[in-house]
Structure 1
Amino acid sequence: MSRIIISPDSFKGTITGEEAARALRDGWSSVAPDDEILLLPQADGGEGTCDVIANAVPDAEWKSTAEPVTGPDGRPVPGRWIVLPSGEAVVELAIPSGLPLMKVKDPRGAQTRGLGQVLKAAVQAGASKLSIGLGGSASTDGGVGALRELGVHFLTSDGHEIGEGGRGLMELASIDSSQMVAPPAGGVRLLCDVTSPLTGPTGSAAIFGPQKGATPTDVAYLDDALAHLAQVAGGEPDYPGTGAAGGTAYGLMVLWGASIVSGAQEVAKLTGLSEELSHADMAITGEGSFDVSSLAGKAVATIIDAAAQTHTPCAVVAGGFTPEGLAALDARGIARVSLTELAGHASRAMAEPAHFLAQAGAQLAGDFHAH
């Protein structure tokens, strides 16, 4: 009997990490029913981060705000976070301020107020420290919406509050943080997997704006707006990762004293990944699309590296692989399975992800036990 660890990230737009792990397990068990299988999905700070941690950490507890919070387009949405036994609170931006919550994409108007309302509730509930998963955001407002809910005032030259979202940033003349809610004593960490600076050709608006509905004109406008925010707020807008979540990382770092850390590595620590891998015979990870960037700080890279440190054989399952991604895996001797190849077409793989993930699990089990 072998011990298998199944630790995928979500296959974005098709299936969650938990669902992917179960499908891979079902396929593996159909070939090797006596193997011991541990499902330990991973995340990097984006969608599903709280679910992954809550399912992996014993006695982690979900909390909710007393009332719905303000979604990215102004409509009410649930406000939820988790509290760990240590007293640390984990908040996921995508839950109150994520792109899927938008009825219609609004790259200039979407904002992060809901995130701030959840953060304030978590602090008031006694969080000893905060970890904030940044990913999947709908907005490019520099975190101004969230900081407003934490008591920061963003003012025009005549002393009025600026408008909502990225479009309001060009009106900014001064910032008053004298009434800001103090962060927890244990500090605030920002869990993210991007290294983009706040502005410029690799900045927040340029790289992530289009997926939020931004046209080239919107991108140029939002980049200028974020640059203006940086002129007023100061700090280090070129610091790697400040562009995460529409610049929310920048705003929380400069005005709330937060620090940027690797989301994937922190989630791995919280879920005990390395310890579990140290007595496993095989590790399986995966994500929707695997390319060279997958090996640069994302959840899959963290699992591959952790498996290498414990000398645990590892395999990657993905919807598809770029040639560069395949070459990188081949260079490290890592097995892989493409769902697109199993399905014969990418659209079919995306339409039936669980079915083809189960096929991938069965194929990997057959290969593993054949050696």
Structure 2
Amino acid sequence: MRVVIAPDSFKECLPAEQVASAIARGWRRGAPDDNIVEVPLADGGEGTTVALTEARHGQLHAVTVSGPLGDTVTAHYGLVDDNRLAIVEVAEGSGLHCVPAKARDALNASSYGTGELMLAALAHGPDTLVMGLGGSATTDGGAGILQALGARLLDSQGKDIPPGGAGLAQLASMDLKPALDRLGTTRLVVACDVRNPLLGSDGAAAIFGPQKGANADQVIQLNDNLAHLARLVQAQGMDMASFPGSGAAGGIGGMVAGVLGAELRPGIELVMETVALESHVQRADLVITAEGAMDSQSAYGKTPAGVSALAKQYGVPVIGLAGKLGSELQALHDSGLSAAFSITPAPMDLQEAYAKAADNLEQAAEQLARLVHSLSGGR
């Protein structure tokens, strides 16, 4: 039997490649003669750089950049195809995981470090730069990225505005040309896993601001400041607010598409295409996918839905594994998921579940392998 293992990461627990390895180890215990192919995935959020770079046998590079609140963090970018393709993600330079929960500050968190990460990747002269948007700590509309790329965002006194979404209130003028020149002829393709607009009740501040530390008053302030930025961008003949996905990553989606001319792509589709998952799935007898929590939201742009839809095209069954399994999975089944199972063998708190995730994945995979082969008569 040929088994393709194509999971996402278990957020804040295991990266996708470790999830895939744990499932593969367990499956081999239960079915040692099977042909197993591991294809770790991501949907544009945390882990996208590693998943894409390793799948394409590229090279990861580390660089020190400014974290969301100014502390330095070590971020990674990937280079593949003799540096013709570069890969970055917002979560590496400006990720929510870079800030302890009690220190999260949506007003002051800046995307500047992601701009520095882009600069490091662009220094290699890639033809294409792929960028993942998920997992940001910021709501600055990508202003920090623009500043890092050389754009001048100035207040009424001609001084650089302060970092973060709060600083946008002081924005009086912009010179965007240096950032556009720095990107040059490099094609920018962005993996975007949400369709939220920049502004309003479904916008960047309202939907994602609270998880980044914003209270109700700060959500209103951030929305107003993003609207101010969008008006100034519009005055320069650019649109960063009118299209689905413009609210992704605290407005970075709107900026990269509207100002830098990026192509927004559904994250999981872009990742699956980049790692050539289809070539593996079309020859598979079974596909296994996984993510930390699998529920009704997983059907909308997440890895299990993307993998299931692809496998459905070739009539290949798909089994899902998750640390936490929701009750509403019909949309996933409709997309092509055959069945889903929780890997948690007994009640346990979150920290214990994190600590035992790899072992639980192995055990669940082994038992599934034994079941599948007993039902198929060993084929």
Instruction: Please tell me the residue identity of whatever aligns with 1:12.
Output: K
CA drift at 1:274: 0.5
**2:146–2:176 Cα contact (<8 Å) kept:** no
Q: How does 1:314-333 map to 2 (within 5 A)?
A: 314-325=318-329, 327-331=330-334, 332=336
Is the CA contact 2:240–2:259 (under 8 Å) kept in the aligned structure 1?
no
Aligned residues: 365
Question: Does 2:93 correspond to 1:89?
Answer: no
Aligned to 2:71: 75
CA contact (8 A) 1:91 1:133 kept: yes
Q: CA deviation at 1:156?
A: 1.7
CA contact (8 A) 1:147 1:252 kept: no
1:162–1:345 CA distance, 2 compared to 1 (3 A): same
CA distance in 2, matches of 1:70, 1:201: 30
Report the CA distance between 1:184 and its aligned residue: 4.2
Let me know the Cα RMSD of the aligned residues: 1.7
Matches within 5 A, 1:131-210: 131-180=130-179, 181-210=181-210
Residue 286 (structure 2) pairs with residue 277 (structure 1): no
Q: State which of 96, 100, 107 in structure 2 corresponds to 1:99.
A: 96
Query: Secondary structure at 1:286's aligned position in 2?
Result: strand
Deviations 1:114-165 (A, max 9, x none): 1111212222321112111111111111100011011111122232221110
* TM-score normalised per structure 1: 0.93
How far did residue 277 of structure 1 move? 0.7
Q: Determine if the alignment matches structure 1 residue 363 to structure 2 residue 367.
A: yes
Note if contact 1:191-1:262 (Cα within 8 Å) is conserved in structure 2.
yes
Percent sequence identity is 39
Partner deviation per Cα, 1:21-79 (whole Å, 9 max, x = no partner): 11111221121111111111110111111111122113x122344xx221111112224
State the shift of 1:306 in Å: 1.0
CA contact (8 A) 2:319 2:337 kept: no
One-letter identity of the residue aligned with 1:163: P
Bigger Cα displacement from structure 2, 45-54 vs 179-188:
179-188
> Hey, what's the Cα distance between the residues in 2 that align with 1:178 and 1:16?
37
CA distance in 2, matches of 1:329, 1:101: 31
Provide the C-alpha distance between the structure 2 equivalents of 1:168 and 1:16, rounded to a whole number of angstroms: 34
Cα distance in 1 for partners of 2:122, 2:12 equals 32
Residue 376 (structure 2) pairs with residue 343 (structure 1): no
Equivalences for 1:219-238 in 2 at 5 Å?
A: 219-234=219-234, 235-238=239-242
- Name the residue aligned to 1:118: 117
1:271 counterpart letter in structure 2: V
Structure-1 residue corresponding to 2:312: 308
1:49–1:30 distance in 2 versus 1, CA, 3 Å: same
The answer as to 2:20 corresponding to 1:17 is no
Alignment gaps of 5+ in structure 1: none
Going from structure 1 to structure 2, the CA distance change for 1:236 and 1:75 (only over 3 Å counts) comes to closer
* Contact 2:154-2:171 within 8 A present in 1 as well: yes
Task: State the alpha-carbon separation in 2 of the partners of residues 346 and 334 from structure 1.
Answer: 28
Matches within 5 A, 1:54-69: 54-58=53-57, 60-65=58-63, 68-69=64-65
Q: C-alpha offsets along residues 236-294 of structure 1, whole Å, 9 cap, x if unaligned?
A: 41311111111111122222111211111111111110000111111000111122221
1:113 and 1:357 mapped to 2: Cα distance?
Answer: 37
Does residue 292 (structure 1) correspond to residue 288 (structure 2)? The answer is no
Q: What is the CA–CA distance in structure 1 between the aligned matches of 2:17 and 2:178, rounded to whole Å?
A: 41
Q: Write the deviation string for residues 184-227 of structure 1: whole angstroms up to 9, x where unpaired.
A: 42411111211111111111111211211111222121111111
Name whichever of 142-151 and 222-231 sits farther off.
Answer: 222-231
Q: Residues 305 and 337 of structure 2 are in contact (CA less than 8 Å); yes or no, is this contact kept in structure 1?
A: no
1:211-250 correspondence to structure 2 within 5 Å = 211-234=211-234, 235-250=239-254
Q: Distance in 2 between matches of 1:344 and 1:213?
A: 30
Separation of aligned partners in 1, 2:316 and 2:37: 14
